[in-house]
Amino acid sequence: MLKFAIKNLLSRSVRSFLCLMGLTIAIAGMVGLFSIAGGLEKTVSQTFGKISGILAMQPGAPIPLFSRIPRDWGTEIKEVPGVSIVNPEIWSRVNLIEGKPVISPPRFLFGTDLPTRLELKHGIYREAIYEGRFLTLEDRGTLNTVISQQIAEQHHKQIGDQIEVNGQTMDIVGLYETGSILLDVAIILDIKVVREITRFDSESVSCFYIEQSGEVANDKLVQEIKDRFRGRELASWQPSSLALASSSNTNILKDVMTAIDETLKGNPRDKDLTDKKAEAHISKPKIADLKTGKTDSDSAESALEVRSASDWGERLDTFTADLDIFLGLMTGIGVLIAMLSIINTMLMSVMERVVDFGILKANGWSNRDVMLLITAESSLLGVLGGVLGGILGLIAIAGVNWKFASQVHLYASPGLLLFGVVFSTLLGVLGGLYPAIWTTRMTPIDAIRRG
């Protein structure tokens, strides 16, 4: 049966080849698209797998770059049981390197407090040094810097060279490589130097990197730090696009966005009413809830967002799940076209061989045998399409990863490749069912007469 099916496909080689190519491209596209989510998930999991500490930053800020929190809060965090080291950090976007604008991939100035950074038991960048040295206490107040291998290779720099960043000439004392495109983007300096270069608010930092002592469970420590700052006043991060609405030419937009924001938050627009509520709040004592025993401040939101590696992983799972839905819809178009191609190819093949099937049935072939033959042909197309599609997808992924090594990382897992082959085979089987059923409805005499 299998040999017969292969001969039938080879007898119409051009049509079979075009159908096979259509299915191959569809499966390759599916592998390529889903490798985006796979690469993102693998990159982030590898990145945060190297981070053992937790991060405290402004509520709502997606990354430390957009976060602003009071500098003196670090002292209070250090007092929380279970906290070992609190390292203040400042992050700022790099606009110019060697006089050239930096667009993609992005680069960042990373200012870290050297005394506390050197006390960390596990320093990501310090442990990733492969040439030169990490910053020491003697580098405080200097323009000595440690940069990633990617940045060094991009600008043809090595240890001892100078690099101009945002108009400042810095001396390279060390090169690091973590292997993560999310981490290999930093130009590391003393926090005071970055504060001066970027004119960062002297009373603020971007975030605090917190290393645990190990005496308190991670989840419990995160909750205790949040509780410590519950009820404090610190504005949640807002997208920068809303900040543009403060100009005189965008008052209408500003009013609209303010109205929407206040409506969602339940804040009154009436100033008098606001003042009265404020006065009532000031004069009203904090009364504990009779059932829970908690005061108003206990139920308030924390002014700090504290995230551990597992928190980032959960956020990523939610994002990739949504991304998979979008990629699945895009892939569905190509898959539908491929399936229609299989149905068309098999239907044309069946119609051309109506007499052959009539003769076979007259010589003792059952409807089941005919269906098996047609299904075998379409299944062969499906299997070959899945295998070739997987191979083509892997080649494309390797090319993209090589060409844009510092910008993206695609990853097709063995499970994704196996799914591609199985899915393609099912498409082949389903594509051959209709022509097979259509053929079995004819009697041998009807089939011969049609011929």
Inter-residue long-range contacts of 33-36, CB under 8 Å, 24+ positions, other chains counted = 33/327, 33/330, 33/331, 34/324, 34/327, 34/331, 34/412, 34/416, 35/393, 35/397, 35/410, 35/411, 35/412, 35/416, 36/323, 36/327, 36/410
Q: Average model confidence (pLDDT) for the chain?
A: 78
Instruction: Give yes or no for a contact between 97 and 155, defined as CB atoms under 8 angstroms apart.
Output: yes
Q: pLDDT (tens digit, 9 = 90+) per residue, 228-248?
A: 998 887 766 666 434 433 333
Instruction: Determine which of 194-203, 294-303, 344-353 has the lowest per-residue pLDDT on average.
Output: 294-303
Q: What is the pLDDT of residue 186?
A: 93
Comparison of pLDDT for 410 and 71, the residue scoring more: 71
> Is it the case that residue 148 has pLDDT exceeding 90?
yes
> Is it the case that residue 290 has pLDDT exceeding 50?
no
How many helices (H) and strands (E) the chain has is answered by 17, 14
Amino acid identity for residue 333 in this structure: I
pLDDT, mean of residues 250-254: 42
Q: What is the pLDDT of residue 203?
A: 93
Extract the tokens encoding 249: 């030419």
Q: What is the pLDDT of residue 309?
A: 64
In this prediction, residue 218 has a pLDDT band, given cuts at 50, 70 and 90, of: confident
What single-letter DSSP state applies at residue 366? -
What SS3 state is found at 413?
coil
What is the Cβ-side half-sphere exposure of residue 299, based on CA atoms within 13 angstroms? 9
For the whole model, what pTM was predicted?
A: 0.65
CA angle 360, 10, 12 (to 5 degrees): 80
Q: What is the pLDDT of residue 297?
A: 47
Q: pLDDT (tens digit, 9 = 90+) per residue, 113-124?
A: 999 999 998 888
- Measure the CA dihedral 371/374/377/378, to 10°: -90
Comparison of pLDDT for 291 and 190, the residue scoring more: 190
The length of the chain in residues reads 451
- List phi, psi (to 5°) of 233: -100, 115
